[in-house]
Structure 1
Amino acid sequence: MDVKRPNPALWLWYAVGGKLPDRYREWVLHDATVPTWLVRHVIRRIVFLAPILALLYLVLAVWLDFDLMIVLVGLGLGVYTGMYYSLIFSTHSVDSRVTRHGYPDQYASQVRKALKQAERERYNARWRNGGAPSL
């Protein structure tokens, strides 16, 4: 799929929840429907959490001089909790992102489901229904 990718500044805006210009609509759908969509979602969440974690570290460990181990454990638990809830709601979050860019509600989930079904049918046609493998 040949789609126009956003530049790094626009991608950062997109990663923290911003809406991209309409010329990137196809890329947003591509981003939400490729087989690695969940990895991309996790990367966006890490980019979102990184400045918050850095600020908390600076305030707690540097400015208030808390014990470093306590700060790191607290930040680690914060990352765990943030990623846990992000993954629970990942499908809804990605569908909402696609809807914000002009596609119908739950369109990304429907596209992913159709792509998975097509892949399953290709696999079954080749390996389950007597298709001979090519050499």
Structure 2
Amino acid sequence: MAIQRPNLLQWLRYTFGGRLPDRYRDWVLHDTTSRNWLWRFALRIVVEALPWLVVGFLALTLLTPIPVGYVLAAIGLALVLSLYFTVTSADELTEARLVKHGFRPGTGKSTRRQARN
């Protein structure tokens, strides 16, 4: 039986911290424990940051005389820093996501450890 995946709107809600319906529990477990779970996590962070980065870019380019190159550098640095600070806490943040979807604490870490062995 194939894992049921959320549609785009459901995925966006999930990305911004929303809870998916119970029929997606297997997908949430897969999303947080698959071989490429950290890349998926980083993608969610980029999607979460994108609206704020766009607003920052527009505000800085339209309301200040700062050259666009400097604004882009600042926006890029903001994205790199947000990725750094969240990826360093990825284990804990994915565990919280799993608990929110009804899994026991530690499920993600133990599932990833079993997959490595």
What is the rounded CA distance, in whole Å, between the counterparts of 1:2 and 1:106 in structure 2? Answer: 25
1:43 and 2:26 aligned: no
What is the rounded CA distance, in whole Å, between the counterparts of 2:24 and 2:33 in structure 1? Answer: 14
| Contact 1:96 1:106 (C-alpha < 8 Å) held by counterparts | no
1:4 is matched by which residue type in structure 2? Answer: Q
What percent of counterpart residues are identical? 33
* Structure 1 residue 7 displacement after superposition: 0.4
1:1-135 matches, within 5 Å, as: 2-117=2-117
Q: CA RMSD in A?
A: 1.1
Gaps of 5+ in 2: none
1:102 is matched by which residue type in structure 2? Answer: G
| Partner SS, residue 54 of structure 1 | helix
| Partner SS, residue 105 of structure 1 | coil
What is the rounded CA distance, in whole Å, between the counterparts of 1:64 and 1:10 in structure 2? Answer: 37
Q: How many residues align?
A: 117
Higher relative contact order (Cα pairs below 8 Å, separated by 6+ residues): 2
Gaps of 5+ in 1: 118-135
- Per-residue CA deviation, residues 38-77 of structure 1 (Å, 9 max, x unaligned), is 0100100010011110010111112334221221111111
Q: Larger C-alpha radius of gyration, 1 or 2?
A: 1
1:36 is matched by which residue type in structure 2? Answer: N
Displaced runs of 4 or more, over 6 A: none
> TM-score, normalising length from structure 1?
0.82
**Comparing 69-78 and 5-14, the one that deviates more:** 69-78
